[in-house]
């Protein structure tokens, strides 16, 4: 290398350091990068961001999204922004703060713009990124936890009850079912929800937790919603499914214990005594006969109990145990029952049949032993002596001579 050339280069660097002329390119200072960054801004992405724009020279503000009262939305990399910003915003994460210094030839050039930006101005943008999405985005589902046993998953036309925490992509909360102390209850896949949720809630098990990320065009779009959801906001729902049924559901029963002997099964009109534990689909307990130290006793099929139970109590054996699932339209419906049963709740009863009889039953006699010689049989007015054991149908001994 020629020594002159070398000195010249050296000199040039010094000059730049002492008297900064126009920059050759943008300068990006990422001064606050979040620990978690699952997505970086790419060309053609839409972004929503806050910014303060000031002049490099004197630090005076020329524009700010805060003064406009709302974050700025634009598509990146397609010339909708000045070139310096189109490039300076690339690779940015949500919640990142960066400073982009834009030389005039990548900003408003030697012309400037309408009195706002003078010619040959170097601009400094402080940017806080709030949201990223792309027209190609789909609803994103991240499963957090799923119960080991899942016999049923949600499909369109199901009625579901779930809890959720809703936040913007920046983490700012906008709504939560917990704030109302009640689940969010709705039909699925019938347009009652925003599109993204109608999609994102499909295929869930009761007890499953998932995160559903909904791009703005499948949520509240350009208008936003209420005071908490700004226009063009991606929504993040953390969801816990509590309950599901379909209006077409019937009562279902699963035999959990069948006695060896079953000579007779319950029919309409029988009087039954049974124990039960009542829970919701998520396992939450709501009632039990054991708590009262007494069986629940009722006639079957005569409307004394909820419709679903009347149906489920048919065809049972003494000693049998069943798990009975009753959809709300065959239980307490949309209203529920007091503080005990929320509206539209599916009920699960684990029942144990203690005994049953029919009021028309005659006295039943079964001879278990008879002596070979039997010349005299008892008659009315005879005085007799006998021993006895008295027990319930399930074998519980009540008393004995
Ligand atoms: C813009 O300036 C305001 C007021 O100084 C400040 O609160 C805000 O954090 C700044 N925003 C960015 C993106 O730097
Ligand atoms: C929810 O329950 C809590 C505690 O039971 C109570 O303090 C709060 O007022 C309730 N909120 C609503 C909206 O009912
Ligand atoms: C919602 O947030 C609360 C408080 O952080 C938490 O206890 C609850 O589990 C969250 N629920 C869901 C469905 O994420
Ligand atoms: C069950 O049936 C068998 C044979 O029919 C009989 O020996 C037994 O005593 C019966 N047990 C009960 C508990 O009824
Ligand atoms: C049921 O019995 C248990 C134990 O004998 C007793 O502690 C409890 O108080 C009883 N409950 C009712 C409702 O009678
Ligand atoms: C009800 O729950 C109690 C306590 O967990 C249990 O001992 C009993 O066997 C249950 N009954 C039925 C019918 O499942
Ligand atoms: C019963 O009758 C038979 C004949 O009919 C007789 O042989 C027997 O001795 C009688 N037994 C008793 C205990 O009276
Ligand atoms: C009553 O039960 C006891 C004990 O199991 C038995 O020894 C006795 O033979 C029974 N008595 C009758 C009349 O069945």
Is residue 185 lining ligand 1, measured as CB closer than 6 Å? Answer: no
Token duo for residue 229: 């959801």
Say if CB 162 and CB 177 are below 8 A apart.
yes
Domain boundary among 214, 245, 276: 245
Task: Tell me: do 27 and 127 sit in the same domain.
Answer: yes
Is residue 236 lining ligand 3, measured as CB closer than 6 Å? Answer: no
Task: Tell me: do 340 and 304 sit in the same domain.
Answer: yes
Report yes or no on 62 lying in a domain: yes
Token duo for residue 103: 């030389």
Task: Tell me: do 30 and 123 sit in the same domain.
Answer: yes
Plot region of 191 (φ>0 → left; ψ -120 to 50 → alpha; else → beta): left
Mutate to test the pocket of ligand 8, among 386, 389, 396, 399 (most ligand atoms within 8 A of CB): 389
Burial pattern 304-343, b for ≥16 Cβ within 10 A else e, equals ebbebbbbbbeebbbbbbbbbbbbbbbbbbeeebeeebbe
Instruction: Identify the pLDDT of residue 324.
Output: 98
Cα Rg, the chain, nearest whole Å? 37
Task: Tell me: do 128 and 25 sit in the same domain.
Answer: yes
Is the pLDDT score of 101 beyond 60? yes
DSSP string of 21-32?
---SS-EEEEEE
pLDDT bin (cut points 50, 70, 90) of residue 261 is confident
Mutate to test the pocket of ligand 6, among 254, 255, 277 (most ligand atoms within 8 A of CB): 277
* Domain count across the chain: 3
Is residue 263 lining ligand 4, measured as CB closer than 6 Å? Answer: no
Q: Strand ranges (DSSP E) for 258-346?
A: 271-280, 285-288, 296-299, 321-326
344-381 pLDDT, tens digit each? 999 999 999 999 999 999 999 999 999 999 988 999 99
Report yes or no on 15 lying in a domain: no
- Integer Cα distance of 83 and 26 in angstroms: 9
Task: Tell me: do 117 and 27 sit in the same domain.
Answer: yes
DSSP classification of residue 200: H
Ligand 4 centroid – CA 261 distance (Å): 6
Mean pLDDT over residues 295-312, rounded?
A: 96
Strand, coil or helix: what is 131?
A: strand
- Integer Cα distance of 208 and 243 in angstroms: 10
Is residue 238 lining ligand 3, measured as CB closer than 6 Å? Answer: yes
Min mean pLDDT across 6-10, 39-43, 274-278 is at: 6-10
Task: Tell me: do 273 and 222 sit in the same domain.
Answer: no
- Integer Cα distance of 54 and 100 in angstroms: 11
Angle (nearest 5°) at CA 262 between 278 and 356? 55
Q: Which residues contact 198 (CB under 8 A, 6 or more apart)?
A: 156, 188, 189, 190, 191, 192
Instruction: Identify the pLDDT of residue 330.
Output: 97
Is residue 292 lining ligand 5, measured as CB closer than 6 Å? Answer: yes
Instruction: Identify the pLDDT of residue 20.
Output: 55
The minimum-distance atom of ligand 3 relative to the CA of 239 is 13
Average per-residue pLDDT for the chain: 92
**What element of type H or E holds 141?**
strand 140-145
Is the pLDDT score of 2 beyond 80? no
pTM of the model: 0.82
Q: Which residues contact 208 (CB under 8 A, 6 or more apart)?
A: 143, 145, 146, 147, 150, 240, 241
Mutate to test the pocket of ligand 6, among 276, 312, 350, 354 (most ligand atoms within 8 A of CB): 350
Mutate to test the pocket of ligand 5, among 288, 290, 293 (most ligand atoms within 8 A of CB): 293
> Where does ligand 7 bind, in terms of residues with CB under 6 Å?
373, 375
* Among the listed residues 192, 190, 178, 238, the one whose alpha carbon sits nearest the alpha carbon of residue 213: 238
Ligand 5 centroid – CA 291 distance (Å): 7
Is the pLDDT score of 11 beyond 50? no
Report yes or no on 368 lying in a domain: no
Which ligand is nearest the CA of 179, by number? 2
Token duo for residue 232: 């063009």
By residue count, the chain amounts to: 401
Q: Which residues contact 286 (CB under 8 A, 6 or more apart)?
A: 278, 279, 280, 340, 341, 347
Report yes or no on 183 lying in a domain: yes
* End-to-end Cα, the chain, rounded Å: 123
Task: Tell me: do 290 and 229 sit in the same domain.
Answer: no
Residue nearest to atom 8 of ligand 1 (CA): 52
Instruction: Identify the pLDDT of residue 328.
Output: 97
Is residue 290 lining ligand 5, measured as CB closer than 6 Å? Answer: no
To the nearest whole percent, how much of the chain has pLDDT over 90? 87
Plot region of 106 (φ>0 → left; ψ -120 to 50 → alpha; else → beta): alpha
Residue nearest to atom 10 of ligand 6 (CA): 277
Token duo for residue 98: 């960066």
Task: Tell me: do 55 and 119 sit in the same domain.
Answer: yes
Compute the CA torsion angle 332, 336, 339, 342 (nearest 10 deg). 120
Token duo for residue 273: 């005594």
Task: Tell me: do 61 and 113 sit in the same domain.
Answer: yes
Instruction: Identify the pLDDT of residue 15.
Output: 39
Task: Tell me: do 82 and 35 sit in the same domain.
Answer: yes
Instruction: Identify the pLDDT of residue 6.
Output: 46
- Integer Cα distance of 234 and 89 in angstroms: 18
The minimum-distance atom of ligand 3 relative to the CA of 176 is 1
Report yes or no on 152 lying in a domain: yes
Report yes or no on 33 lying in a domain: yes
The minimum-distance atom of ligand 4 relative to the CA of 260 is 1
Instruction: Identify the pLDDT of residue 227.
Output: 93
Report yes or no on 99 lying in a domain: yes
Instruction: Identify the pLDDT of residue 381.
Output: 94
124-156 pLDDT, tens digit each? 999 999 999 999 999 999 999 999 999 899 999
218-235 pLDDT, tens digit each? 999 999 999 999 999 999
Residue with tokens 């310096």, as numbered in its chain: 84
Instruction: Identify the pLDDT of residue 21.
Output: 65
Report yes or no on 104 lying in a domain: yes
Task: Tell me: do 150 and 208 sit in the same domain.
Answer: yes
Token duo for residue 315: 């065809």
Min mean pLDDT across 10-19, 281-290, 390-399 is at: 10-19
DSSP classification of residue 363: P
Is residue 125 lining ligand 1, measured as CB closer than 6 Å? Answer: no
Ligand 8 centroid – CA 389 distance (Å): 6
Token duo for residue 113: 């713009």
Tell me, what CATH number does 341's domain have?
Answer: 3.10.50.40
The minimum-distance atom of ligand 3 relative to the CA of 163 is 13
Task: Tell me: do 348 and 282 sit in the same domain.
Answer: yes
Instruction: Identify the pLDDT of residue 10.
Output: 44
Phi, psi of 387 (to 5 degrees): -110, 155
Domain boundary among 245, 272, 303: 245
Residue nearest to atom 3 of ligand 5 (CA): 293
- Integer Cα distance of 128 and 94 in angstroms: 8
pLDDT bin (cut points 50, 70, 90) of residue 9 is very low
Say if CB 277 and CB 288 are below 8 A apart.
yes
Ligand 2 centroid – CA 177 distance (Å): 12
Instruction: Identify the pLDDT of residue 3.
Output: 47
**What element of type H or E holds 197?**
helix 195-200
Domain boundary among 217, 245, 273: 245
Which ligand is nearest the CA of 183, by number? 3
Question: Which residue segment(s) compose the domain that 314 sits in?
Answer: 252-357
176-231 pLDDT, tens digit each? 999 999 999 999 999 999 999 999 999 999 999 999 999 999 999 999 999 999 99
The minimum-distance atom of ligand 7 relative to the CA of 375 is 1
Token duo for residue 215: 């791009």
Residue nearest to atom 7 of ligand 6 (CA): 290
């Amino acid at each position: 290398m020629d020594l002159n050339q070398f000195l010249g280069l050296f000199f040039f660097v010094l000059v730049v350091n002492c008297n900064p002329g126009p920059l050759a390119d943008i300068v990006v200072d990422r001064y606050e990068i979040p620990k978690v960054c699952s997505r970086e801004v790419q060309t053609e992405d839409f972004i929503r961001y806050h910014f303060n724009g000031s002049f490099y020279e004197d630090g005076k503000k020329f524009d700010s999204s805060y003064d406009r009262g709302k974050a700025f939305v634009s598509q990146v990399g397609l010339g909708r922004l000045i070139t310096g910003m189109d490039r300076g915003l690339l690779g940015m994460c949500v919640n990142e703060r960066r400073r982009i210094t834009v030389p005039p030839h990548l900003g408003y050039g030697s012309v400037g713009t309408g009195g706002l930006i003078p010619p040959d101005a170097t601009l400094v943008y402080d940017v806080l990124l709030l949201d990223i999405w792309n027209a190609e985005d789909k609803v994103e589902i991240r499963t957090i936890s799923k119960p080991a046993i899942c016999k049923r998953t949600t499909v369109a036309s199901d009625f579901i009850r779930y809890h959720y925490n809703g936040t913007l992509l920046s983490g700012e909360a906008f709504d939560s079912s917990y704030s109302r102390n009640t689940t969010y209850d709705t039909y699925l896949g019938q347009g009652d929800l925003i599109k993204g949720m109608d999609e994102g809630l499909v295929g869930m098990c009761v007890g499953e937790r998932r995160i559903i990320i909904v791009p703005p065009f499948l949520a509240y779009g350009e208008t936003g919603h209420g005071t908490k959801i700004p226009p063009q906001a991606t929504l993040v729902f953390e969801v816990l499914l509590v309950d599901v049924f379909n209006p077409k559901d019937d009562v279902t029963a699963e035999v959990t214990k069948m006695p060896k002997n079953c000579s007779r099964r319950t029919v309409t009109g029988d009087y039954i005594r049974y124990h039960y534990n009542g829970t919701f689909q998520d396992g939450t307990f709501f009632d039990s006969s054991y708590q009262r130290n007494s069986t629940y006793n009722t006639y079957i099929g005569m409307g004394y109990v909820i419709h679903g139970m009347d149906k489920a109590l048919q065809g049972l054996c003494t000693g049998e145990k069943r798990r009975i699932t009753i959809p709300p339209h065959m239980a307490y419906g949309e209203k529920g029952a007091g503080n005990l049963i929320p509206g539209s709740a599916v009920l699960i009863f684990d029942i144990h049949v203690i005994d049953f009889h029919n009021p028309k039953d005659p006295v039943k006699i079964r001879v278990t032993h008879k002596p070979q010689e039997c010349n005299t049989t008892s008659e009315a007015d005879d005085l007799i002596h006998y021993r006895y054991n008295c027990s319930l149908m399930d074998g519980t001994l009540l008393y004995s001579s």
